[in-house]
């Protein structure tokens, strides 16, 4: 039954690669992320459990804020729309495991390439405005997010996923309670009628089918918050030390290691044109390449492209983001010395000077935050 529903929902999607059916997980091939605003039909899907019951009346969907607040609030979508200032921001939503398949040896989890990401226009209200109405107590330190979806065995007793953020992140203007995506009512598969969007941080914080935000006096401990979930080994060296050292030998089980929760996602770029495998006519000496880049909480400082394994780089032209957490689009003309096989590689650098690595660095058992450079192979002239 659940399986049928899952398949039905993916039929509204165009060209996604299925990574798992139950729970439903599908990513977007990089060349389909060529739009400034990712169309809903191309937006990736990540579920950790089964789907909840769809509802007929989105306006009466209710969610609760309770815990360390002066007043518990039970608000419908209709009330959210009229009681708080509405905001629309274009923002990147990216799975914490995006890029995981490039880790060697293989890390635990869905084998995302670079397509566990999309950038949509999200409309809603700032969670902070609603939290201020509830009145945060001094003991309010963390959020805990709850959705209506049962876990992957169909149990409503256990949350499929329940993560949370420090109060400061919850109070950022761009952390939204969202009911519309690209100007349309938020689709069911993306969490409609109501979801959170917590930009810049792992997508798992952006709770779909939102029913409750529990304000807590300590770090939240729901599924997805404990053990090795969304955690990275702590680097033994100060952050200024930028060599690609590995705090954990690849393949280790991670037992007994010190970890921290993954917050901001690392800088990443993708090549969205040409598509991997494209062939150009013999004699082509100049090609146009373009793509997107984003950097979690940070800004993209520059994007560089190479066709010779990094021997020389061409700086790409980048667009200005519309608002914080929007991605930048980039393009460049590359000169080719002759016919043959080339690999186009893009490298983004954030405003703190951190660039993407050539090889997957920072291996960790659950495979988070792999931001290795994206590589696209093309050929000029006949097959050799
Ligand atoms: N209720 C609920 N919300 C959820 C999830 C989930 O399984 N259940 N998955 C999370 C994860 S891991 C990601 S990456 C994003 C994906 O959002 P999307 O399916 O709209 O692309 O939703 C997040 N919100
Ligand atoms: Mo995710």
361-375: per-residue pLDDT in tens? Answer: 889 999 999 999 999
Q: Residue 238 has what pLDDT? A: 54
Does ligand 1 come within 6 angstroms of the Cβ of 46? yes
CA–CA distance, 59 with 82 (Å, rounded to integer)? 11
CA–CA distance, 274 with 331 (Å, rounded to integer)? 11
Q: Residue 367 has what pLDDT? A: 95
CA–CA distance, 74 with 65 (Å, rounded to integer)? 7
pLDDT band at 16 (very low <50, low <70, confident <90, very high): very high
Does ligand 1 come within 6 angstroms of the Cβ of 42? no
Tokens of 358: 């050539």
Judge whether residue 319 has pLDDT over 80: yes
Q: How far does the chain reach from its first CA to its final CA, in angstroms?
A: 50
CA–CA distance, 143 with 164 (Å, rounded to integer)? 5
Q: Residue 259 has what pLDDT? A: 82
pLDDT band at 236 (very low <50, low <70, confident <90, very high): low
Judge whether residue 50 has pLDDT over 50: yes
Taking CA atoms only, the protein residue closest to ligand 1 atom 19 is 45
Average model confidence (pLDDT) for the chain?
93
Average pLDDT of span 165-177: 98
For the stretch 271-286, pLDDT in tens is 999 999 999 999 999 9
Atom of ligand 1 nearest to the CA of 210: 1
Q: Residue 9 has what pLDDT? A: 65
Does ligand 1 come within 6 angstroms of the Cβ of 205? no
Judge whether residue 344 has pLDDT over 90: yes
Average pLDDT of span 290-314: 98
Judge whether residue 243 has pLDDT over 70: no
Does ligand 1 come within 6 angstroms of the Cβ of 49? yes
CATH 2.60.40.650 occupies which residues in the chain? 268-380
Report strand pairing: 286-294 vs 268-273: antiparallel
Closest by CA position to 51, among listed 149, 125, 120, 197: 149
Q: Residue 180 has what pLDDT? A: 98
Contact partners, residue 367, CB within 8 Å, separation at least 6: 97, 100, 103, 106, 107, 108, 109
Report strand pairing: 62-67 vs 210-216: parallel
Q: Residue 249 has what pLDDT? A: 81
Does ligand 1 come within 6 angstroms of the Cβ of 149? yes
Does ligand 1 come within 6 angstroms of the Cβ of 212? no
Atom of ligand 1 nearest to the CA of 202: 14
Residue environment code for 350-377, b if the CB has 16+ CB neighbours within 10 A, otherwise e: beeebbbbeebbbbbbbbbbbbbbbbbe
Q: Residue 188 has what pLDDT? A: 96
Pocket-testing residue among 63, 208, 262, 368, ligand 1, by greatest number of atoms within 8 A of Cβ: 208
Q: Give the three-class secondary structure for 291.
A: strand
Pocket-testing residue among 46, 199, 207, 223, ligand 1, by greatest number of atoms within 8 A of Cβ: 46
CA–CA distance, 303 with 301 (Å, rounded to integer)? 7
Atom of ligand 1 nearest to the CA of 45: 19
Q: How many CA atoms lie within 13 A of 312 on its CB side?
A: 5
Place of tokens 């609030």: 73
Q: Residue 260 has what pLDDT? A: 86
Q: Residue 3 has what pLDDT? A: 44
Does ligand 1 come within 6 angstroms of the Cβ of 45? yes
Name the CATH superfamily, with its identifier, for domain 4-233: Oxidoreductase, molybdopterin-binding domain (3.90.420.10)
Tokens of 10: 């993916």
Contact partners, residue 370, CB within 8 Å, separation at least 6: 97, 98, 99, 100, 102, 103, 107, 360, 362
Judge whether residue 6 has pLDDT over 50: no
Average pLDDT of span 214-233: 92
Which DSSP helix (H) or strand (E) runs through 130?
helix 127-134
Taking CA atoms only, the protein residue closest to ligand 1 atom 10 is 204
Write phi, then psi, for 194 (nearest 5 degrees). -145, 135
CA–CA distance, 51 with 334 (Å, rounded to integer)? 45
Q: Residue 384 has what pLDDT? A: 66
Average pLDDT of span 278-306: 98
Does ligand 1 come within 6 angstroms of the Cβ of 207? yes
| Residues of the chain above pLDDT 70, percent | 94
| 371, 94 contact by CB (below 8 A) | no
CATH 3.90.420.10 occupies which residues in the chain? 4-233
Q: Which CATH class is domain 268-380?
A: mainly beta
Q: Residue 302 has what pLDDT? A: 98
Q: Give the three-class secondary structure for 215.
A: strand
Q: Which of the pair, 138 or 237, is modelled with greater confidence?
A: 138
42-56, 148-162, 225-239, 255-269, range with the lowest pLDDT: 225-239
Judge whether residue 172 has pLDDT over 80: yes
Ligand with an atom nearest the CA of residue 369? 2
Average pLDDT of span 122-136: 98
CA–CA distance, 104 with 94 (Å, rounded to integer)? 21
242: phi > 0 → left, psi -120 to 50 → alpha, else beta; which? alpha
What does the chain come to in residues?
Answer: 384
3-17, 48-62, 316-330, range with the lowest pLDDT: 3-17
For the stretch 65-123, pLDDT in tens is 999 999 999 999 999 999 999 999 999 999 999 999 999 999 999 999 999 999 999 99
Write phi, then psi, for 32 (nearest 5 degrees). -90, 5
CA–CA distance, 47 with 96 (Å, rounded to integer)? 13
Taking CA atoms only, the protein residue closest to ligand 1 atom 23 is 204
Place of tokens 């810049």: 200
Taking CA atoms only, the protein residue closest to ligand 1 atom 15 is 203
| 29, 17 contact by CB (below 8 A) | yes
Q: Give the three-class secondary structure for 273.
A: strand
Does ligand 1 come within 6 angstroms of the Cβ of 233? no
């Amino acid at each position: 039954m659940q399986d049928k529903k899952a398949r039905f929902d993916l039929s509204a999607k165009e060209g996604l690669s299925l990574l798992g059916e139950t729970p439903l997980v599908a990513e977007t091939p990089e060349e389909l992320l060529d739009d400034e605003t990712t169309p809903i039909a191309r937006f990736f899907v990540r579920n950790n459990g089964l789907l909840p019951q769809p509802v007929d009346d989105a306006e009466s969907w209710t969610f609760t804020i309770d815990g360390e607040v002066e007043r518990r609030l039970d608000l419908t979508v209709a009330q959210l729309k009229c009681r708080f200032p509405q905001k629309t921001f274009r923002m990147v939503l990216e799975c914490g495991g995006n890029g995981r398949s490039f880790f060697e040896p293989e890390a635990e989890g869905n084998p995302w390439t670079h397509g566990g990401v999309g950038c949509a226009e999200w409309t809603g209200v700032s969670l902070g405005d609603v939290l201020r109405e509830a009145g945060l107590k001094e003991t309010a330190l963390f959020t805990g997010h709850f959705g209506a979806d049962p876990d992957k065995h169909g149990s409503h007793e256990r949350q499929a996923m329940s993560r949370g953020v420090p109060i400061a992140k919850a109070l950022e203007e761009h952390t939204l309670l969202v009911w519309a995506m690209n100007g349309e009512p938020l689709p069911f598969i993306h969490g409609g009628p109501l979801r959170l969007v917590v930009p810049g941080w792992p997508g798992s914080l952006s709770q779909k089918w939102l029913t409750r935000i529990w304000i807590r006096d300590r770090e939240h401990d729901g599924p997805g918050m404990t053990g090795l979930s969304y955690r990275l080994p702590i680097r033994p060296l100060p952050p200024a030390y930028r060599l690609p050292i590995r705090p954990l030998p690849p393949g280790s089980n991670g037992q007994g290691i010190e970890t921290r929760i993954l917050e901001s996602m690392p800088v990443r770029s993708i090549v969205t044109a040409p598509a991997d495998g494209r062939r150009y006519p013999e004699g082509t000496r100049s090609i146009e390449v373009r793509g997107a880049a984003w950097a979690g909480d940070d800004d993209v400082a520059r994007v560089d492209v190479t066709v010779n394994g990094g021997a020389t780089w061409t700086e790409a032209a980048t667009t200005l983001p519309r608002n914080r957490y929007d991605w930048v689009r980039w393009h460049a003309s590359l000169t080719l010395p002759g016919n043959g096989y080339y690999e186009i590689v893009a490298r983004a650098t954030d405003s703190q000077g951190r660039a993407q690595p050539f090889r997957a660095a920072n291996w960790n058992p659950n495979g988070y935050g792999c931001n290795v450079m994206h590589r696209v192979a093309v050929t000029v002239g006949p097959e050799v």
